[in-house]
Amino acid sequence: MDCSVKIKDYSLRLAVIYRPPPSKANRLKSSTFLTEEFSQFLLRYASADKNIILTGDLNFHLDDPSKKDTVKFNDILHSFGMMQHVTESTHKGRHILDVVITRDTVDTVSDVVVINPKLSDHYAVIFNARASKPALPQKMSVDATAKEVEKWLNEHQFTKYTSFFQDYVGADILRLTRDDLIQICGLADSIRLENLLLSRPIRTVGPRLTLFMRVGSDTMYHAVYLEQLSCQELIQEIADLPEIVGNRDSISNICMQEPTSKIPLYLTDKVVRYELQDKSRFMVEISSDTKNEDNVRVTLKREE
């Protein structure tokens, strides 16, 4: 099961997973699940913009830290910036088989307890899920010295990269792009580091992305500066354009269209973060919403 829960302006992504125990009949292998299936599964959620909770029955004896599968499982969680919260046995065999997983930088869940309702061989795992925005992790300051950067990396479990970043000050590390982080840290750790850097308030070291936009047939462009690389930030900037501000409250959706395609693409945080290129030019087209005549649609047509 994979679903999204939204309460006002707070969004949570919840997934429930089940791994059957390996047997001769199903020919499943724990190594394949951990190194391929589970890693790919976590990769998808580690890069999600929402808070996440992953629960389910993995059929590992997670209470035994000496087991090879448990060691591998914990290593994979750590590499993706995740943590597992269940610490009591969840099965009549007295092992921890069921999990509650979140990012390790936020307190999304609390008060995790296990009870036995005597309905099956598994017990019930009960926890409280946060339904309000948590406090931001300690941010990386633009004014941080090289020593403070090293301390921040150690506190956030990036110790193995401190030698590479030994001469970096705060402004240096805040200017790194996603491609830079992947090259330095690898895919899994780069996602975790980028999520931490993106969680900070707006920076003062200059915009991460600059776009140029003109409205309709106008030949003059407006500069739009993005700091947080989020869909909501871009929508707000577009709504503030002088030619559009009168329609701000009636905008139903915003799409993007490539010059070689007639297919509009809905804007999401991932589209803004990974598809928009710095210094790109767009023509902003306003059209009536066919589903609601009181609303308007905005299409960003990229110009070559």
Instruction: Please give the pLDDT value at position 188.
Output: 73
Instruction: Please give the pLDDT value at position 94.
Output: 92
Produce one character per residue of 22-46: b if its CB has 16 or more CB atoms within 10 Å, e if not: eeeeeeeebeebbeeebbeebeebb
pLDDT surpassing 80 at residue 8? no
Condensed to tens digits (0 to 9), the pLDDT of residues 154-213 reads 888 788 899 999 989 888 888 888 888 888 988 778 877 887 876 544 344 456 788 999
Condensed to tens digits (0 to 9), the pLDDT of residues 103-160 reads 877 788 889 999 998 889 999 999 998 776 555 556 787 788 999 999 988 888 788 8
User: Rounded distance, CA 213 to CA 301, Å?
Assistant: 9
Measured CA to CA in angstroms, residue 58 lies from 48, 91, 249 at distances of: 22, 12, 47
Condensed to tens digits (0 to 9), the pLDDT of residues 158-167 reads 888 999 999 8
Question: 52: helix, coil or strand?
Answer: strand
Indicate the average pLDDT of the chain.
83
Instruction: Please give the pLDDT value at position 134.
Output: 52
User: Rounded distance, CA 145 to CA 6, Å?
Assistant: 39
Domain ranges of the chain: 2-129, 146-198, 209-303
Right CATH for 209-303 from 1.10.3470, 3.30.700, 3.10.20, 1.10.10: 3.10.20
The superfamily CATH assigns to domain 2-129 is Endonuclease/exonuclease/phosphatase (3.60.10.10)
Q: For the chain, where are the E strands, in sequence order?
A: 2-7, 10-18, 51-57, 82-84, 98-103, 109-115, 124-129, 209-215, 222-226, 251-257, 265-266, 280-289, 292-303
